[in-house]
Amino acid sequence: KLVLDTLDSHSTIKDTRELTIPGESNPATSHDSQITILGALNSLLSREMITYETHEVFSYALTPEGSQIAKEGSHEARVWSALPLKGQGTPVTPVQLKKQVGDETAKVGQGRAFKNGWIGKEGDGLVKLVDTIKDTAKLELLEIESTGDLKAGEKVLADLRKRKLVNQRKGQWFTVHKGSNFSTSTAKPETDLTADMLTSGVWKTSTFKKYNFDAEGIPTSGGALHPLLKVREEIRTIFLEMGFAEMPTASFVESAFWCFDSLFVPQQHPARELQDTFYISDPPASLSPEKSYYDRVATVHEKGGYGSTGHRAPWSDEESKKLLLRTHTTASSAQMLYKLAARCRGEDIDDDSSEFTHGARPTTAHGEGDTKSDNFRPAKLFSIDRVFRNETMDATHLAEFHQVEGVVADRGLTLADLIDETRPDNYTLEGFMRVFFKKMGLEQVRFKPAYNPYTEPSLEIFAFHPDLQKWVEIGNSGMFRPEMLEPMGFPKDVRVHGWGIGLERPTMIRYGITNIRNLLGHKVSIEGVENSAAVMF
């Protein structure tokens, strides 16, 4: 109303600092008043009632120390007034002065008072040399306090800022003109055209609020990907880039046959025990796997075969049929490998529908060409999914987590294909894992011999963590045993590499999460999920 009335009588407002806001005694020179005015200007601008230009000014305000000086005088003035005039009293020693005016004032003030010629030495003490002084600092600060500026100019202001007595503030003021819809009425324009307005004809004389096409929309409350899903997507992309096909892994419940037996894990292996594995009581047992394969697996466990002596322990049907929450995604890999070997078993395969050989190359890793009569086709498979272990939960362990797993099946693969191969001319060909981890941003990777019931040799994978400055174990790998592959029907020269890493650890590193419970479970913050940035390996 103030802006509109002033414009009505003066046609422009040259400087909004000259307005006096109703209820205030002084013109609106302060920063806050101009902010208030700006709010009104923007609202009037949106209705095209006015236009305005913005001008920038710097204003100055006192710091707490500045205010104190404005009130009590500068340090040098305080020192001066604490002393007797020369020849008219006992000189004050520096120690006494400190007691009187305080350490800080004595320290800073003495130097300046000397420099100004206000004080001098007499014996061991100090005295006034002049009987009046002009406390310029105080006067300057008082001027700044009341006007926000200093006539003495930039240089003095710069000095006061350096002494941390004043702060510079950026301020704005405005010049205002009438707009195309100028009127002195502050009635709010209509925001909606209603049926009533149409029937009564009021719409003809109403003013309407303009659409603001620049307004930022209300943030949508759609879904957001959990950090684990984002990292999973990144890893999936790496696998796809490397020609891997994704395995179906939807079956959280598996039989002990697929989780352990098919992998040649002994039926008495500790990993199968209740404290490590969650068993399912209902239904009580799994369906039977295909009979002849099942028999070959049972035989290789009990009696051996394919050049192996087997575990030489009694085979239990019941053990094999137990249902459990899969403890690793290798349970799914085993089933996929069994399917992949179907061609080699002489079963009818509809190649078009076979999802897992699409990464196949026409020639094998060693360039032999796919000419053998066993029909084998190489494959590169991966999965990223959930697994379950009956573990004690703490800051870094949960009873359910995710595994990333890669499997490569080809003729004549060697450990060199898994890690690296150094050729006779010293040229090093990078192995699958080296390439894969490099794409994940892990340049420094090391492998350490380890034991794993279904792979031989087996390797633990370590990566150098640049933030922690140490090597951390990230996974496990190896070449699947012939006792696992040959009962499936793979020819003897087919080798299968496998490796598994956790999904949680790289995700926690990416997002700086130190407690796994903040990543998974009921303590996860929804805002945290919504705000977590996408990651790039």
Which residues sit at the interface with ligand PHE, rule CB under 6 A? Answer: 328, 330, 405, 452, 455, 476-478, 498-500
500 Cβ neighbours under 8 A, 6+ residues apart: 328, 329, 330, 403, 404, 405, 406, 475, 476, 477
> Least CB distance from residue 491 to ligand PHE, whole Å?
20
Nearest approach, Cβ of residue 285 and ligand PHE (Å): 24
Coil, strand, or helix at residue 235?
helix
The contacts of residue 213 (CB under 8 Å, 6+ apart) are none
Residue (91 or 478) nearer to ligand PHE, CB: 478
- Nearest Cα residue to 262 out of 525, 27, 490, 536: 490
Least separation, in Å, of the C-beta of 506 and ligand PHE? 15
- Shortest Å, Cβ 366 to ligand PHE: 21
Long-range residue pairs from 35-41, CB within 8 A, at least 24 positions apart, any chain: 37/3, 37/174, 38/172, 38/174, 40/2, 40/3, 41/3, 41/16, 41/174, 41/176
Q: List, in sequence order, every residue forming a beta bridge with 125; answer none if it has no partner.
A: 122
Residue 34 vs 329, nearer CB to ligand PHE: 329
Query: For ligand PHE, which is the closer residue by CB, 60 or 462?
Result: 462
By C-beta, is 3 or 413 nearer to ligand PHE?
Answer: 413
225 vs 242, which CB is nearer to ligand PHE?
242
- Which residues neighbour 25 within 8 Å (Cβ) at sequence distance 6 or greater? none
HSE at residue 368, side-chain half, CA atoms within 13 A, is: 16
Provide the minimum distance between the beta carbon of 263 and ligand PHE in the complex, in angstroms, as a whole number: 8
In the complex, least distance from residue 373 CB atom to ligand PHE, rounded to whole angstroms: 29
Q: By C-beta, is 330 or 364 nearer to ligand PHE?
A: 330
Which CB atom, from 91 or from 406, has the smaller least distance to ligand PHE? 406
Report in angstroms how near the CB of residue 447 gets to ligand PHE at its nearest. Answer: 12
Q: Please report the DSSP string for 123-189 in residue order.
A: TTEEEES-S----HHHHHHHHHHHHSS-TT-HHHHHHHHHTTSEEEEEEEEEEEEE-TT--S--PPP
